[in-house]
């Protein structure tokens, strides 16, 4: 026999079912569309643009740049400061055409991020000398014909200047006989220390003469 349900009981049952369905549906709504608490800005977070401020002192002049954190020092010099003397050869740190001096030490600028050198002093080939007043190493390269096509020459010269500074500072190399002794400028030392700078034209012998001449004048 069919049981009769009172109207009041039917209303209460429908209200209960409707409430349960609404609760279940609410639990399935993704968190991304539910109300979220207001976010508090983080003062240490990078700017919304994704750029970061970098201060470089290049060839005696200070530059304040806003750079993508992935920008290499080489690209900062060439693309942002328009100092195109430093060349992009292999872009893998294998040819040395991008060599510059950072705080007096030579580095491959294609392998180093500009952001790593915030506050550093950078010297490029443009900062070593001018056409009217060449650096001794530049003058020696011209005198001894230490280049042909010239593409690798800026890196060669910066590396040669760094090489002599390393020797004067007593920093040994792989071919140094006594790493505790005062280092001397020998052809073997120069060849070893300059081995990271490649010359596709093969002007190595003339470069060696140029570097030895400058080393003799600085003794």
List Cα–Cα distances, 49 to 53, 68, 78, 115, 119, in angstroms. 11, 9, 22, 16, 22
165-191 pLDDT, tens per residue?
A: 999 999 999 999 899 888 999 999 999
pLDDT at 37 over 60: no
- Residue 29's pLDDT is 46
Name the token pair of 40: 């508090």
Q: What is the mean pLDDT of residues 206-217?
A: 94
The dihedrals phi and psi of 99, each to the nearest 5 degrees, come to: -60, 130
- Residue 44's pLDDT is 52
57-90 pLDDT, tens per residue?
A: 999 999 999 999 999 999 999 999 999 999 999 9
pLDDT at 218 over 50: yes
- Residue 31's pLDDT is 46
HSE-CB for 115 with a 13 A CA cutoff = 9
pTM of the predicted structure, to 2 decimals: 0.77
β-strand partners of 58: 61, 122
pLDDT at 42 over 50: yes
142: number of Cβ within 10 Å: 13
First to last CA, the chain: 120
The dihedrals phi and psi of 78, each to the nearest 5 degrees, come to: -80, -50
The pLDDT-based confidence of 49 (bands split at 50, 70, 90) is: confident
| Of residues 213, 216, 211, 178, the one with CA closest to residue 194 | 211
The dihedrals phi and psi of 184, each to the nearest 5 degrees, come to: -115, 150
- Local structure of 52: helix, strand or coil: strand
Q: What is the mean pLDDT of residues 85-107?
A: 97
- Residue 14's pLDDT is 57
209: number of Cβ within 10 Å: 17
120-155 pLDDT, tens per residue?
A: 999 999 999 999 999 999 999 999 999 999 999 999
Q: Which residue has the tokens 């430093």?
A: 86
Domains of the chain, with CATH numbers? 50-128 (3.10.20.30), 129-219 (1.10.150.120)
Contact (Cβ atoms closer than 8 angstroms) between residue 216 and residue 135: no
């Amino acid at each position: 026999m069919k049981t009769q349900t009172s109207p009041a009981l039917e209303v209460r049952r429908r209200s209960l079912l409707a409430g349960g369905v609404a609760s279940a549906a609410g639990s399935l709504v993704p968190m991304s569309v539910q109300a979220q608490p207001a976010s508090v800005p983080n003062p240490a977070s990078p700017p919304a643009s994704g750029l970061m401020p970098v201060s470089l002192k290049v060839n005696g002049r200070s530059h304040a740049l806003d750079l993508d954190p992935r920008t290499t020092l080489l690209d900062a010099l060439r693309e942002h400061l328009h100092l195109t003397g430093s060349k992009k050869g292999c872009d893998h740190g294998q040819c040395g055409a991008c060599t510059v001096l950072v705080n007096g030490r030579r580095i491959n600028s294609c392998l180093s991020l500009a952001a790593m050198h915030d506050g550093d002093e950078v010297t490029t080939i443009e900062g070593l000398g001018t056409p009217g007043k060449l650096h001794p190493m530049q003058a020696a390269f011209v005198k001894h014909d230490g280049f042909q096509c010239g593409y690798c020459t800026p890196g060669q010269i910066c590396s040669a200047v760094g090489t002599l500074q390393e020797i004067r500072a007593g920093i040994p190399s792989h071919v140094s006989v006594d790493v505790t002794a005062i280092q001397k400028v020998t052809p073997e030392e120069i060849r070893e220390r300059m081995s990271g700078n490649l010359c596709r034209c093969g002007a190595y012998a003339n470069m060696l003469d140029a570097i030895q001449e400058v080393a003799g004048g600085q003794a």
